[in-house]
């Protein structure tokens, strides 16, 4: 089963009625090495932070997330009447014990409000209406991150196709280059021997030394590993899901093999191909940095 590949950059929005009145929820994500969440909730929503973050963690596995919850219209609201009665009775009993006048309504309101602020700091589950708005914002974020992820995957595959074309071009040139290099090296060895040695060595010894030096430009192993790494990148992209870290590792391996290829080959055309391959890899690294 192919899973969606998500971009770590995206935004989701939702608005609607809730237990706090009309609210608007905005969720934004940017790329990051791990997961982090920053919540901005109004004071009336204090205590919902843990519940909101739990929902965010279920939807986003990597990246930096910012959640903003705003009330569309802030109006003054009275504390629960039963709370007012309870606080009023407690204040009246305390005033009687201390021999003080009974508390006024303002005293009860102030005490009840302070009590509510203290209680609101404890962790609370999200009420159904508010949870529905948060979930819709996360669903909108999911849709945007999936679309962006698909676009990023397409861009990576395009660069990968170009990299494969350059690799195949190099693979075609390599056998011809080795033959040319061996012949040129053989001629130079013979010229040196004739000019500086009193007795010429056997043909076998000359060919052995030529072969030894010619092997130094053999890049068959590098080309084979490049082919294996590009195939694995395609496989990872095909499986989908959380691919970012795996792709980052594979691209590092691709760059290492490409650098070795460039350092071993003395051919100008291969050197130009290596520059093109490294450009493709750098572009892929920029794209992959945004994938979850």
pLDDT of residue 119: 46
CA distance 140 to 134: 10
pLDDT of residue 118: 41
The answer, yes or no, to whether residue 75 has pLDDT greater than 70, is: no
- Report the interhelical angle of 268-288 vs 244-264 (nearest 10°): 170
Give how far the C-alpha of residue 89 lies from the chain's centroid of Cα atoms, to the nearest Å.
Answer: 57
Q: Lowest-confidence range among 105-109, 134-138, 200-204, 220-224?
A: 200-204
pLDDT tens digit sequence for 257-267:
999 988 887 77
Tokens of 85: 């009665």
The answer, yes or no, to whether residue 214 has pLDDT greater than 90, is: no
Residue 35, beta-bridge partner list: 63
Are 4 and 240 contacting, i.e. CB atoms less than 8 angstroms apart?
A: yes
pLDDT tens digit sequence for 233-247:
999 999 998 999 999
Instruction: Summarize the confidence of residues 222-230 as an average pLDDT.
Output: 93
Per DSSP bridges, beta strands 63-71 and 10-16 are: unpaired
Taking phi over 0 as left and psi of -120 to 50 as alpha, with beta for the rest, 28 belongs to beta
Instruction: Summarize the confidence of residues 107-131 as an average pLDDT.
Output: 74
pLDDT of residue 3: 81
Mean pLDDT of the residues in the chain: 84
Which one is predicted more confidently, 236 or 109? 236
CA distance 106 to 149: 56
Q: Strand order of the sheet with strand 63-71?
A: 10-16, 23-30, 63-71, 35-40
The answer, yes or no, to whether residue 6 has pLDDT greater than 60, is: yes
Q: Lowest-confidence range among 8-17, 64-73, 188-197?
A: 188-197
pLDDT of residue 46: 85
pLDDT tens digit sequence for 135-156:
999 999 999 999 999 999 999 9
pLDDT of residue 72: 79
Q: What angle do CA 136, 139, 145 make, to 5 degrees?
A: 145
pLDDT of residue 268: 82
pLDDT band at 225 (very low <50, low <70, confident <90, very high): very high
Which one is predicted more confidently, 144 or 99? 144
Which one is predicted more confidently, 259 or 121? 259
Instruction: Summarize the confidence of residues 124-137 as an average pLDDT.
Output: 94
pLDDT of residue 138: 97
pLDDT of residue 120: 47
CA distance 173 to 168: 9
């Amino acid at each position: 089963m192919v899973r969606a590949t998500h971009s770590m950059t995206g935004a989701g929005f939702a608005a609607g009625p809730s237990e706090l009145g009309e609210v608007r929820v905005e969720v934004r994500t940017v790329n990051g090495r791990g997961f982090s969440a920053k919540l901005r909730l109004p004071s009336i929503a204090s205590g919902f932070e843990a519940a909101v973050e739990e929902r965010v963690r279920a939807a986003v596995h990597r990246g930096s997330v910012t959640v903003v919850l705003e009330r569309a219209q802030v109006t003054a609201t009275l504390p629960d009447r039963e709370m007012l009665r309870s606080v009023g009775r407690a204040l009246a009993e305390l005033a009687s014990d201390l021999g003080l006048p009974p508390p006024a309504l303002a005293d009860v309101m102030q005490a009840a409000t302070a009590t509510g602020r203290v209680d609101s700091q404890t962790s609370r589950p999200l009420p159904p209406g508010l949870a529905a708005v948060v979930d819709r914002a996360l669903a909108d974020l999911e849709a945007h991150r999936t679309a962006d992820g698909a676009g990023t995957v397409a861009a990576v595959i395009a660069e990968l196709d170009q990299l494969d074309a350059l690799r195949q071009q190099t693979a075609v040139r390599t056998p011809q280059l080795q033959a040319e290099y061996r012949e040129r090296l053989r001629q130079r060895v013979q010229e040196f021997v004739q000019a500086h040695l009193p007795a010429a060595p056997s043909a076998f010894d000359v060919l052995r030394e030529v072969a030894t030096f010619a092997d130094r430009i053999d890049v068959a192993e590098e080309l084979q590993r490049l082919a294996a790494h590009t195939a694995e990148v395609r496989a990872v992209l095909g499986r989908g899901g959380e691919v970012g870290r795996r792709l980052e590792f594979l691209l590092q391996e691709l760059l290492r093999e490409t650098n070795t290829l460039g350092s071993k080959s003395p051919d100008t055309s291969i050197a130009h191909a290596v520059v093109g391959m490294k450009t493709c890899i750098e572009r892929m690294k920029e794209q992959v940095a945004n994938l979850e």
